[in-house]
């Protein structure tokens, strides 16, 4: 199945505390991660039926994504983003997912606003 061009579900600013990072203190103390997700899928069936069963339930998706962020620690946010994208693609209706993982408290010795990794995975 492919998504219709332009059909997307977007979830931005999903915040959860995780213990990801290369350094021991990151794993011990944890920090906030912010996740943005764009799902590409055909939304016409849901638009016709007006039934949540015909689309991706974004509340349930948010629960699954938070479980990944708060779950098993990884060294790199690239790895975390890959796991989150796989969770998005677990729903067979999703043709592609773009995931951005923000690490606003990354251990950088200079003033900065954000560090993020974005990846797109297609079926």
Q: How do residues 69-91 score in pLDDT, each as one tens digit?
A: 999 999 999 999 999 999 999 99
What are the distances in angstroms from CA 104 to CA 15, 16, 32? 11, 12, 7
Q: Cα–Cα distance between 23 and 29 in angstroms, integer?
A: 10
The average pLDDT across 14-18 equals 98
Give one word for 56, left, alpha or beta, with left for phi > 0 and alpha for psi -120 to 50: beta
The domains of the chain, with CATH numbers, are: 8-122 (3.30.1130.10)
Q: Cα–Cα distance between 2 and 32 in angstroms, integer?
A: 34
Is 116 tagged catalytic? no
Q: Are 16 and 105 in contact (CB under 8 A)?
A: no
Q: Which of 69, 87, 98, 103 is catalytic?
A: 103
User: For the chain, what percent of residues have pLDDT higher than 90?
Assistant: 94
Supply the pLDDT for residue 1.
46
pTM: predicted TM-score of the whole model, two decimal places = 0.94
Q: Cα–Cα distance between 84 and 66 in angstroms, integer?
A: 9
């Amino acid at each position: 199945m492919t998504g219709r061009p332009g059909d997307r579900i977007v979830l931005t600013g999903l915040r959860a505390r995780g213990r990801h990072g290369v350094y021991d203190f990151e794993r011990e103390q944890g920090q906030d991660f912010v996740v943005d997700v764009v799902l590409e899928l055909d939304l016409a069936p849901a638009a016709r039926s007006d039934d949540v069963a015909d689309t991706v339930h974004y509340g349930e998706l948010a629960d699954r994504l938070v479980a990944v962020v708060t779950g098993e620690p990884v060294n790199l946010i690239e790895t975390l983003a890959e796991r989150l994208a796989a969770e998005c693609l677990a729903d067979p209706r999703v043709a592609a997912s773009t995931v951005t993982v923000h690490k606003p408290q990354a251990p950088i010795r200079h003033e900065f606003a954000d560090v993020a990794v974005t990846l797109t995975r297609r079926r």
